[in-house]
Each structure stands twice: as C-alpha cells, then as structure tokens.
Amino acid sequence: MPRPTQSRSGESASRAQPGSAQHLPHELLTYLAELRDRVHRYRRYGLLPEGRASVYLRTRRGSGLACVICGESVLASEPEVVVECEPRARRCESAVFRLHHLCHVIWLTASLPKGTRRG
C-alpha cells in the first residue's frame, strides 16, 4: 500500500488536493440545509402535514418510488418510511408519503416546536 505524500505545509496530499474529502462536510451540510428548506416550503404550501399527531408511520423495504422530500427513488436496498395522514386531520395534498430514513429525520427535526431544537 503506498504511503500518502506530504505537501510543504505538512498535510497529506489527499487533504491538500481540491475536491477531496475535506469539502465533504460543507457539501453535506449544504445538502441537509436544502432538504430542511424543502420541508419548510412543502409544509407552508400544504404539501406535507404540519403536526406529528396526525400521522401514522411504518417502515418497509424501499418501493422504488420517489421520496417526497429529496425526489430520489427509495431503492429496495434502503429502508422506506411511509407516513399516512389521518383522514380527519388531513390538510395536506396527499394522504401517503414515502421517504428515505434521512429525509424523515430531517422532516421530524424541522417539525419540532420552537424552543425544543438543539443547537
């Protein structure tokens, strides 16, 4: 296995090159922020339910259908979270939502009441 070379500043070559893993955290944070913005926008326009009390959850193997948050397919190799609105509480456009696990977590954290978020 070749040893990583070092630059003049003492950093390994993989860290010193543009486009390497050092940019991943910023890109990941940007992507997560975009997903959070989508959740807020979709809730504002009635595309997602507002509260947690009006939904039923179940998980299963991915169906191949698009995630409501990111728009990417939920593959059979991934867990899929299915969110169903109660009929009487449905103020959203659809009754059933399919999401990636990460997208569901973002939806939940973006739906927390003010003052309960960490950070």
| pTM exceeds cut of 0.75 | no
Length of the chain, please? 119
pLDDT of residue 1: 34
Mean pLDDT by 10 residues, the chain (119 residues): 42 47 75 93 81 76 95 95 73 78 90 56
pLDDT of residue 96: 86
> pLDDT of 102-114, one tens digit each?
999 998 888 666 5
DSSP for 12-60, please give it.
BHHHHSTTSGGGHHHHHHHHHHHHHHHHHHHHHTTSS-S-STTEEEEEE
Domain segments of the chain as ranges:
16-110
pLDDT of residue 102: 93
Eight-class DSSP state of 9: T
Contacts of 18 (CB under 8 A, 6+ apart): none
Contacts of 49 (CB under 8 A, 6+ apart): 43, 55, 83, 85, 89, 90, 91, 92
pLDDT of residue 71: 94
pLDDT of residue 35: 94
